[in-house]
Amino acid sequence: MLTVLEAINLSTEYLRNKGIESPRLNAELLLAEILGLKRLELYLAFDRPIQENEKLSYRQSLQRRGKFEPLQYILGHEEFYGLEFIVNQNVLIPRPETELIIDHIKSYFSKQKIEKVLDIGTGSGNIAITLAKEIDKVQIEAIDISAQALSIAAENSRNHNTESRVRFLLGDIFSEEIVESLSKYDCIVSNPPYISLSDYPDLQIEVKQFEPEIALNDKSDGYKFYRRIIEISNRILNLNGTIFFEIGYSQSETIAEIFNSHGFCDIKVFKDHSNIERVIQAVRCTH
188 binds ligand SAM (CB under 6 A): no
| C-beta of 4 vs 279, nearer to ligand SAM | 279
127 binds ligand SAM (CB under 6 A): yes
The one among 105, 109, 117, 123 contacting ligand SAM by CB under 6 A:
123
CB of 35 to ligand SAM, least distance (A): 29
Site for ligand SAM in 2-41 (CB under 6 A): none
251 binds ligand SAM (CB under 6 A): no
215 binds ligand SAM (CB under 6 A): yes
The one among 192, 222, 241, 248 contacting ligand SAM by CB under 6 A:
192
Identify which of 16, 52, 54 has the alpha carbon closest to the alpha carbon of residue 36. 54
| C-beta of 45 vs 203, nearer to ligand SAM | 203
Q: Which residues of 11-41 are buried (b: 16+ CB within 10 A; e: fewer)?
A: bbebbeeeebeebeebbbbbbbbbbebeeee
| C-beta of 170 vs 239, nearer to ligand SAM | 170
Identify which of 251, 207, 19 has the alpha carbon closest to the alpha carbon of residue 95. 207
Q: Which residues of 156-189 are buried (b: 16+ CB within 10 A; e: fewer)?
A: bbeebebeebbebbebebeeeebbeebeebbbbb
138 binds ligand SAM (CB under 6 A): no
CB of 190 to ligand SAM, least distance (A): 8
100 binds ligand SAM (CB under 6 A): no
222 binds ligand SAM (CB under 6 A): no
Alpha helices in the chain (DSSP H): 4-18, 23-35, 52-66, 71-75, 99-109, 126-134, 147-159, 176-181, 205-210, 213-216, 224-231, 233-236, 252-261
117 binds ligand SAM (CB under 6 A): no
User: For residues 141 and 119, is the Cβ–Cβ distance under 8 A?
Assistant: yes
94 binds ligand SAM (CB under 6 A): yes
Helices and strands (DSSP H and E) totals, the chain: 13, 9
Looking at 26-34, 70-78, 179-187, 189-197, which segment touches ligand SAM (CB under 6 A)? Answer: 189-197
174 binds ligand SAM (CB under 6 A): yes
CB of 40 to ligand SAM, least distance (A): 27
**Residue 118 in 3-state DSSP?**
strand
Site for ligand SAM in 64-93 (CB under 6 A): 92
- CA 88 from chain centre, in angstroms, equals 12
- CA 35 from chain centre, in angstroms, equals 27
Residues near ligand SAM, by CB under 6 A: 92, 94, 98, 121-123, 126-127, 143-146, 149, 172-174, 191-193, 214-215
